[in-house]
Amino acid sequence: MKADPYARLDAAYLLGALDADERFAYEAHLAVCRRCRAGLAEISAIPPLLAGLDESVFAAPPEAARVPVPDTLLPRLLQAAGPGRARRRWLTTGLGLLAAACAIALIVIVVPSSGGPKTAPRAMTALVATPVDATIALQPRSWGTEIDLTCWYQRGPAEPSSDRYELVAHGAGGATYDLGNWRLAPGQRVIFTSGTALTETQIKNLQVTEPNGPAILAFALPPLSRAAGR
């Protein structure tokens, strides 16, 4: 049996590293492959956590602070091995880091616990020629729907005509809801979290617009999802 050529693409997809053709093919494959959807859901909460980090954290840490994780760790952890030496070492380091973290007020990001699958981010569709690209993920919440938008400029010759963008929701009933705005500098990747009291079934589509300008990107909720929603 042939291996699934898409099986290892979820991370590159979430990180925005696939080109448009690859992304389109991957999304088409996702629609028919439960395994790839499950794989994507496993890690979809992770890339947003990288937002706002300094590039220095990707550099090699000083030797003393380094606790390497071997490549074989993943299978071992997945076997849910009992607490061992490695775990105690992690605990010791982790406690110190947490104490340091608690001492400083920081931007707080909410992440769901590992139990529940998250809705995967999906690409928004360009309505006009624009260098702006974005993915969007909708999470049902007790208060409505959380909307996580990741936005960046594609590489290419096109100059953005604006550096401000707005997110707008159109309700199934025809009303328009302003979900906030942000600034996007070249080379930057903005993760913009918003929300609405509407449930997913009450949202017809979401659009990124320039201020007082036309919609440039859109994401239409699949009618199936709206019909089948609770």
Partner 1 sequence: MVTGRLPEQPIGDASEQVVNRHLVAAALRRLTQEHRDVLRECYFRGSSVAQAARALGIAPGTVESRTYYALRTLRLAIEELRDVE
Those residues whose C-beta lies under 8 Å from the C-beta of residue 195, and which sit 6 or more positions away, are 141, 143, 144, 145, 146, 147, 179
- What CA–CA distances, in Å, run from 39 to 22, 44, 87? 17, 9, 25
Q: How far is the CB of 193 from partner 1 (least distance, A)?
A: 13
Nearer to partner 1, 32 or 129 (CB): 32
Tell me the residue type at 129: A
| 135: three-class secondary structure by DSSP | strand
Do 43 and 9 contact (CB within 8 A), yes or no?
no
144: which 2 tokens?
């409505």
Nearer to partner 1, 159 or 211 (CB): 159
CA 201 distance to own-chain centroid: 21
69: which 2 tokens?
């994780």
Tell me the residue type at 32: V
Using the rule CB under 8 A, is 59 a contact of partner 1? Answer: yes
Using the rule CB under 8 A, is 201 a contact of partner 1? Answer: no
The site string for partner 1 over 82-121 (x = CB under 8 A, - otherwise) reads -----x--xx-xxx-xx-xx--x-xxxxxxxxxxxxxxx-
Using the rule CB under 8 A, is 63 a contact of partner 1? Answer: no
Question: What sign has the CA pseudo-torsion 142, 46, 177, 202?
Answer: negative
Q: Which residues pair with 166 in a beta bridge?
A: 181, 209
Which of 66, 80, 85, 173 touches partner 1 (CB under 8 A)?
66
Using the rule CB under 8 A, is 50 a contact of partner 1? Answer: yes
Q: Which range of residues in 16-24, 164-172, 176-184, 207-215 is near partner 1 by CB under 8 A?
A: 16-24
Which of 37, 172, 181, 204 touches partner 1 (CB under 8 A)?
37
Q: How far is the CB of 157 from partner 1 (least distance, A)?
A: 16
Q: Which range of residues in 2-10, 156-164, 171-179, 202-210 is near partner 1 by CB under 8 A?
A: 2-10
Using the rule CB under 8 A, is 197 a contact of partner 1? Answer: no
Nearer to partner 1, 153 or 167 (CB): 153
Q: Under rule CB under 8 A, which residues in 157-186 are in contact with partner 1?
A: none
